Chains A and B, each alone.
Chain A
């Protein structure tokens, strides 16, 4: 199974801080990088940074999975534009449950399954709390 490298791209420092939060919980991680797009930054240079990281991963025989914050935003567009030339997988709506799942399961699954599991964890990680729990949910 190919090793997987993870690249997080977000607006501002969200991704960098998210990675720090994940590492606070899980300890230091290898093969994971976060990039941020800030006011006044050049999207073309972001695209080139993304391309370089993906290329380097490819040379090291690693697959790249890109996690972005917002579908349709510039970080997502730069990931998509790199996907023209390179085989990368992209997940949007990155959150802490997604990242933790990705980091903790990446050595155990192939890419397709890892994406599915991480997608599920990111959605399942969202709960509406503070409501009275109904009988039905208790039984589940």
Chain B
């Protein structure tokens, strides 16, 4: 039986930080990108798959429903997987549809004027913070903010305080 090591939210999806750092250790042998739009875009899909081809990891790009049927089918077989997401809403969709994500690393969300920085690589909107609160409280997900395995880790309660939300 396979295992979901953790999920990561990173709007750059497959790139150096993920392939050279996060996928080393934890016995990781696969990275699944879960994104409904990307799964339909054959051209961008081929770019990500080509970029990842030099790694020793199995890489798949899936829509949420596709990922869930793979999980229901054989619990991801022999894969020890990092799930990669572009946004928090898709993580929420996956979890509410039954994908058992227990650890969520929020590692890369670009800044924009209405957002607040949690760590230098992650800024959040209030509704994203609320979604994370929901995942932690209703689905028992351990949420943490961290760019690289060796960089500073910020826990959800500290991030939520920025928005005046209490755990």
The number of chain A residues touching the other chain, given as a range, is: 10 to 19
A-B contact pairs, 20 of them (CB 8 A): A11-B16, A40-B110, A40-B117, A40-B120, A40-B121, A41-B110, A43-B11, A43-B12, A71-B54, A72-B15, A72-B16, A72-B19, A73-B16, A74-B15, A76-B51, A77-B12, A77-B51, A80-B47, A81-B43, A84-B43
What residue in chain A is nearest B112 (Cβ atoms)? A42
CB under 8 Å from chain B, chain A span 44-74: 44-45, 70-74
Does B24 touch A at the CB level, under 8 Å?
no
Chain A residues within CB distance 8 Å of chain B: 11, 39-45, 70-74, 76-77, 80-81, 84
B18 nearest CB across to chain A (Å): 10
Cα–Cα distance between A72 and B13 once the two chains are bound (Å): 11
- With a 10 A CB-CB cut-off, give which of A44, A72, A80 has the most chain B CB atoms: A72
In the bound complex, CA of A43 to CA of B51 (Å): 16
- Is B48 close to A, CB under 8 A? yes
A41 to B110, CA, bound (A): 5
Partner of A40, one of B15, B16, B52, B111: B111
A-B contact count (CB 8 A): 50
B29-52 contacts to A, CB under 8 A, are 43-44, 47-48, 51-52
Interface hub of B16, B117, B147 (most chain A Cβ within 10 A) = B16
A55 to chain B, nearest CB (A): 18
* B123 interface hit (Cβ, 8 Å): yes
Inter-chain contact B48/A42, CB cutoff 8 Å: no
Question: In the complex, which residues of chain A have a beta carbon less than 8 angstroms from the beta carbon of B104?
Answer: none
14 more CB-based (< 8 A) A-B contacts, given A39-B121, A42-B110, A84-B44: A40-B111, A41-B110, A41-B111, A45-B110, A70-B16, A72-B14, A72-B15, A72-B16, A72-B52, A72-B54, A73-B15, A77-B48, A80-B47, A81-B43
